[in-house]
Amino acid sequence: MAIHKGMMAKAEEFVRREHKMLIDGHWVTAASSDRIDVVNPANGKVFTSLSSGDKGDVDRAVDAATKALKSDKWGKITPIERSKLLWKVADIIDKNADELAEIESLDNGKPYKFARMNDVSAVAESFRYYAGWCTKICGKTMKLSRPGPHHAYTIAEPVGVVGLIIPWNFPLMMAGWKFAPALAAGCTCIMKPSEETSLSVLRLAELMIEAGLPKGVINIVTGYGATVGKAMTEHKGIKKIAFTGSTRVGKEIVNSALGNLKKVSLELGGKSPVIIMPDAKMETAVPGAAMGIFFNSGQVCAAGSRLYVHKKVYEQVVEGICKMATQLKVGPGYKEDTILGPLVSATQHKRVSDYVRSGIAEGAVIATGGGHIGDEGYFYQPTVITNINENMKIVKEEIFGPVLAVNIFDDIDEALRMANDSDYGLTAKVWTDNLSTAHYLVNNLDVGSVSVNGGGPPDNNMPFGGYKQSGWGQELGEEGLRLFLNQKSVEMTL
């Protein structure tokens, strides 16, 4: 019996097999033999299971990664050889893109067409981008201030064995954001995907091995954060943790990493503001603001979940977004007309529902949406909430669902004050046709990234990261590579 009508045979064959962990080039079961059920978020039914790893499995993975770090087949190869391997990974991803997108859609719930067009393509391009950096990792020579003949320079070296912990909202894309720069730097890796969405990452690992990565260079340990994640952050053999996920868990990781003061980079939560000025082009601002929160069912760290609209266009904007929200097709990811898939799990569905109820209890008004859809699965209506104040939980806390809180402002400084009144500082969006207004907002918004009049998903060449409790460090670009490098200073007296 097919998992869903029309599912390609290759993807279904992978999904139905017994899923193991990758350690030292071998697919192995967890030492405990425990399993984790995998649920289809479109119908709430279990369709396969994962190995549930623990500390012993992490120990095995660290041993393998440590051995591979200095091996002839990885640690001693030339930068151009490393570059060619990453390029081969990108090519094999492209070759298997349809299958990867289908697995991602089934496991996460997102529409297949978006997984294929955005997520899988982004993974391949991350590997190609960082393949180019392999031959450009270098130090500097410099003159010293004190007298005497000296030769002084720096060397960039791989951090070593790194632990990569990724979330469930963009499993493939986040795997690419972590694997590609870490491997380009010459590190070896242990990745823990989310227990909610591990399947596409396991298939990606198979393809990376097929592309020629030596054994032990990448390892995948599936399991829960409280066991596998904690073991990774506490392990003395892991020299760095790169984490994407919630701010709460990010703080726990920092505490766990104190044992050997390992390096930590964190891409955390967001409560991103969107500001629509009265001179904005409404034909682009309204759909832009709508899809800025509803895309991927709002399960995006950079989602524009707080909307601030000038009083002159407030009613027009709210009416336009509400109309669009009611027209978006919500359904299983495999259906061609689906725009929004389900939320990832029953837990996430309850979380979103609870936040909306809390807003109502505090006096907010549901302009549209605000409820469950259908008889099965974790579907939630695109929701717009008005009559808010800045102290409400729905304004202060990250919901991670298709829920937009809308407020009104009189002048630009009031909009800035509300936009910056947040513990988070990941991204912001501005809609205006006035260049001076745009620059004023860009220069005064307390966030790591700002897009004006549109923008798209993060680009490999642009650093991505947040201020305040949205994280430490920036991914992508050269900055993303430097996260996985140590710098050594050398001075020779001649």
Catalytic residue list = 267, 301
Contact 299, 244 (CB under 8 A): no
Distance of CA 122 to the CA centre of its chain: 12
Q: What separation in angstroms does the CA of 325 have from each of 108, 287, 363, 384, 447? A: 21, 10, 22, 8, 27
Q: What separation in angstroms does the CA of 350 have from each of 38, 70, 310? A: 18, 47, 33
Contact 457, 122 (CB under 8 A): yes
The CA-based dihedral angle spanning residues 253, 254, 259, 262, taken in that order and rounded to the nearest 10 degrees: 100
What are all long-range contacts of 32-36, with beta carbons under 8 Å and residues at least 24 apart? 32/56, 36/195, 36/222, 36/223, 36/224
Q: Nearest Cα to 87, choosing from 79, 217, 70? A: 79
Tokens for 265, please give them.
Answer: 């980079």
Q: What separation in angstroms does the CA of 213 have from each of 50, 64, 95, 165, 217? A: 23, 13, 17, 20, 7
Q: Nearest Cα to 325, choosing from 300, 354, 293, 352? A: 293
Helix, strand counts (H, E) of the chain: 17, 24
d(CA 89, CA 217): 13
